Amino acid sequence: MKTRQANAANASSRRSPMFVKKILAPRWLLVGMVGVLAACSTPMPPGPLPAPARSGPGAPAGPAGPSIVRESARWQPVPWSDLPGWEADATARAWPALLAGCGKPAAGWAAACASARALQAPDDARVRAWLQRTLQPYRVTALDGSAEGLATGYFEPLVAASRQRSRTHGVPLYAAPPGLAQRKPWYTRSEIETLPAARAALKGREIAWVADPLDALLLQVQGSGRLAITEADGRKQTVRLAYGGHNDQPYQSVGRWLVERGAFTLEQASWPAIKAWARANPGRVPEMLAANPRYVFFREEPLPDPTIGAVGAQGVPLTPGRSIAVDPRAVPYGTPVWLDTTEPQPWSPTPPPPRPLQRLVLAQDTGSAISGAVRADYYWGWAEGAEDRAGRMKQPLRMWVLWPVTR
């Protein structure tokens, strides 16, 4: 998450949003659910993926060429047949995200973007043909040659809120206090809850009130979200809650705090597991929250079109299921990326075989926990189920970039 509108990346660990590296605000925030768990040490994916399919008769080969070395990655040219599942993806579903990215294209993309805008009736076949005609696939590896990495997920929370404090809605979401930048660090999370001076500084800065302190934490970790607000006169509306700054205190993962206290193992750690622990231990929730001294502030923005995602680090709206956050030192914003990973599933001592997640996505965001060559944070959007999938995603990953052919 983060809305990049502000561009907040994981407000807690975060990425530039996830919630911007144009960054109006540090996306370190947005790093998705990894922000809740990351400090548990870098989670390792559950196991290797099968080797990619090699070239076969009749497969489009793609032009050969030299490898490309970037600041933290090496790209090795490969034939199109090396991309696992390439022929099965509904590539036209990624086309709007690609065109959006062409609004702020990477260097070297001007001609390709002009060609993309001119493509008529972009169905799956035409999009796939355009990609294979215009772009060259490159296998992404670390500089040391490692080709295996990690895929995590983030999303845009939708939380019910009220303009007025009530018996059921008693957890405030604050706008940044005046003078926040002049006092660094600002008060810790615990001090905000207990010190009169901190509470006085925030008096009247309440944007809205939510029912569950974990909802507030989730919004802070994601860096942004949506509020389904009940106004004082009873009207209902949905607004965007964008990143508005933080207290400059160090981020500490509540997931790590729980693992260290034996609530669950690192392998079992997920946002659903954290919520289950909180439901079973309501009296210890304040103690858990206090373990993270970082506190995130917000600003409210209108949401005229609820079908449009938060703005990512590239400066364009994110597309659910087709946008990812990357390390821009390895993959420039706007680059089409082929992902080869698996879908997240609940932890089990005897898990079923993983389902492949192989699709075309666009690199349109980043986050502080998103570091390294083969590293992606997958944007699940805001629909029902997005929170659960993002919270469980910690999968093995291989990735390929698609880059304009030099003729």
The model's pLDDT over 38-68, given as tens digits with 9 standing for 90+, comes to 534 344 444 555 554 444 434 444 556 799 9
pTM recorded for the entire structure: 0.78
pLDDT < 70: residue spans in the chain: 1-64, 407
Predicted pLDDT at 283: 96
Options 2.40.40.10, 3.20.20.140, 3.90.700.10, 3.90.950.20; CATH for 68-150+312-404 is 2.40.40.10
DSSP code per residue over 228-288: EEEPTTS-EEEEEEEEEEE--PPP--HHHHHHHTTSS-TTT--HHHHHHHHHH-GGGHHHH
The model's pLDDT over 198-207, given as tens digits with 9 standing for 90+, comes to 999 999 999 9
**What phi and psi values does residue 289 have, to the nearest 5 degrees?**
-65, -40
Domain ranges of the chain: 14-43+154-301, 68-150+312-404
Angstrom distance (rounded) from CA 12 to CA 313: 16
Roughly what angle, to the nearest 10 degrees, separates helices 110-118 and 124-134?
160
Same topology for domains 14-43+154-301 and 68-150+312-404, yes or no?
no
Q: Which residues contact 131 (CB under 8 A, 6 or more apart)?
A: 91, 336, 360, 402
Predicted pLDDT at 17: 35
* Residue listed under structure tokens 């449009």: 308
- What number does CATH give the domain 14-43+154-301? 2.40.240.50
Local structure of residue 223 (DSSP, 8 states): S
